Chain A
Amino acid sequence: MLKETSSRIIKSAVVSFWRNGWLSTATVLVMVLTLFVIGGLLLSSVLMNTILDSLEERIDVSVYFLPNTQEELIVGLKADFEKIPNVSAVSYVSQAEALERFRERHKNNPLILESLAELEENPLEASLNISAADTSKFQEIVTAIEVQEEPTIDKINFFENQRAIERLSKIMVATRTTGAAIAAILAFIAVLVAFNTVRLAIYTARDEINVMRLVGATAWHIRGPFLIEGVIDGGLAAVITAAIYIPTVWFLAPNIQNFLDGINMFQYLMGHLLEFFAILFASGVLLGILSSILAVRRYLKV
């Protein structure tokens, strides 16, 4: 009995999906659009986060030492600095290395290279580059270094970069929150559009719903086919959306990587394909079911 009823409901949903071909197509396409927005928000938030993370990693504070400071002393200080709270990494750049990097950076500028060659001594200072787990903690770290009053320290570039670092960390916080807000608004609009489309599809079936009530069909018997149709709409839309995303991301990934210096989005997508599809599928099906329940409810009253 229950089995017969459910198979009847599923059959009637499939038949109705098929017979209302254009309406079903339109509904699925609008849902594809919605899921496309949701997927896009998902991928761009991943991209934005990796970019922000890599930016954050690149912010560091350099402690410069007077020329000819002994290397053992600096290496000793490096160990001390690493023990300061919130320091995530300390790297040592010797005078020779600094010179090498300087040459590399200006290899296309013969004037600078020539004037460098004029000098007898290495003019560059050795330095310790300190990265923090959290960019807003640099002030504390620098204070901790300062209290040691190490005479060989020439300067700490934090004070020069302080404003830039502070601004950058503010921008990061702002970007993350506004990004989340924009994503929420876009997702909300997309959901509304999809919901309305499903409602329209059910509106065309209101006579049928009326007749069903008339002949004494239970509420679930009436709702059932529309729910299943919602599931079909959502599931199909998820499959189509994923099928659009994979080649699109594959095509765009190299450009994104070059331009933003982030991760390879295609590799990321393929690595997380199952989760990505699960999110799209769940959103689609949930959207279909919810829209159907809300839309049918209107005609089920009394």
Chain B
Amino acid sequence: MIFFDNVSKIYSPTSTALEGVTLRIQPKEFVSLVGPSGSGKTTLLRLLIAEERPTEGRVFFDQDEITALRPKELPYLRRRIGKVFQDYRLLPTKTAMENVAFAMEASGKSAEEILHDVPQVLELVGLTDKMSHFPHELSGGESQRVAIARALVNRPEVFLADEPTGNLDPVNTWEIIRLLLKINELGTTVILATHDKEIIDALDRRVIELEKGRVVRDEERGKYISKE
């Protein structure tokens, strides 16, 4: 479903984010990207939503070559990929419900669809009672759940989570991870970038480890560190 074909991203001669990365991700997989800060996890995700263009190599999403899409086609690609980040990126002037509805409006959904889907997806993330709260009235865990609802509401095929639990305490962290697993069960491919050892070890799913821009490990049921 997702195919990185010998991809390199070189920002400057002294700064190489990715080097010769080749990897394949199948539909409905749950993949963890691990590695220290600066190892290229975020760059990999950014290439997938075409926020960056690789210096070399090609990236495919189903039949589409992402690296060859015209700017006009990018929004339609991005609607097929849900994204959450460490810093939530909610709009501070909109309520939880409006933040989610905003994603549907942006992709041109009708008012009926929005009224029907938004409460449903907020129920899925367990925030029905906080629908009309503004982001500053929500806790970190709640904010991230709103962000997940926003990423889910357009029914993406792939779900990208870039350090989604980086700012959260253990209880909230597990709630978010359980949500990601639920999303995966419902049939969405999930790519989780993290450096949280406990999460990786507990997940017992495919792990891809990056180091200085190279894939140094790709295991079907990986632990955080397998160097023994």
List chain A positions with a Cβ less than 8 A from chain B.
1, 4-5, 8, 19, 207-208, 210-219, 221, 302
Q: How far, in whole Å, are A5 and B105 apart by their CA atoms in the complex?
A: 8
Taking CB atoms, residues of chain B closer than 8 Å to A211 are: 89-91, 102
| Chain A residues whose C-beta falls within 8 Å of the C-beta of B75 in the assembled complex | 213, 216-219, 221
* A19 / chain B contacts, CB cutoff of 8 Å: 93
A-facing mask of B100-144, CB < 8 A → 1, else 0? 001101111011000000000000000000000000000000000
- Complex contact B78–A207 (CB within 8 A): no
Q: Which of A4, A208, A216 contacts B111 (CB 8 A)?
A: A4
**In contact, A219 and B71 (Cβ under 8 angstroms):** yes
Asked if B146 lies at the interface with its beta carbon under 8 angstroms from chain A, I say no
CB-CB < 8 A to A8: which residues of B?
Answer: 105
Q: Would you call A212 and B106 a contact (CB within 8 A)?
A: yes
Cα distance, A219 to B77, chains bound together (Å): 13
Cβ of B145 under 8 Å from chain A? no
Are the CB atoms of B110 and A1 closer together than 8 Å?
A: yes
Q: List 10 interface pairs A-B (beta carbons < 8 Å), by A numbering.
A: A1-B108, A211-B89, A213-B78, A215-B78, A215-B102, A215-B103, A216-B77, A216-B103, A217-B106, A221-B75
- Taking CB as reference atom, which chain B residue is nearest A12? B105
Q: How many angstroms between the C-alpha atoms of A207 and B92 in the bound complex?
A: 10
**CB-based contact B107/A217 at 8 Å:** yes
Chain A residues near B49: list those with CB within 8 A.
Answer: 214
Q: Are A216 and B107 in contact (CB under 8 A)?
A: yes
A218 to B79, CA, bound (A): 10
Interface size class of B (residues with CB under 8 A): 20 to 34
Q: B91's contact among A1, A4, A207, by CB below 8 Å, is which?
A: A207
Residues of B within 8 A of A217 (CB): 75, 106-107
Chain B contacts to A: CB under 8 angstroms: 49-53, 71-72, 75-80, 83, 89-91, 93, 102-103, 105-108, 110-111, 150-151, 154
> How far, in angstroms, from A231 to B49 measured CA to CA in the complex?
33
- Which residue from B79, B83, B108 sits with its C-beta under 8 Å from A5? B108
CA distance A53 to B51 in the complex (A): 62
Residues of A within 8 A of B79 (CB): 215-216
Q: Which of A207, A211, A214, A215 has the most CB of B within 10 A?
A: A215
Most A Cβ at <10 Å: residue of B107, B108, B150: B108
Note all chain B residues with C-beta closer than 8 A to A221: 75, 106, 108
A215/B106 in contact, CB under 8 A: yes
CB B163 to nearest CB in A, in angstroms, measures 16
- B71 adjacent to A216 (CB under 8 Å): no
Chain A neighbourhood of B50, CB < 8 A: 302
Let me know if A210 and B89 touch, CB within 8 A: yes
Instruction: Report the Cα distance A4→B104, complex, angstroms.
Output: 13
- Asked whether A216 lies within 8 Å of B51 as measured between CB atoms, the reply is no
> Which residue on B lies nearest to A8, using beta carbons?
B105
Taking CB as reference atom, which chain A residue is nearest B94? A208
The complex places the Cα of A4 from the Cα of B113 at a distance, in Å, of: 13
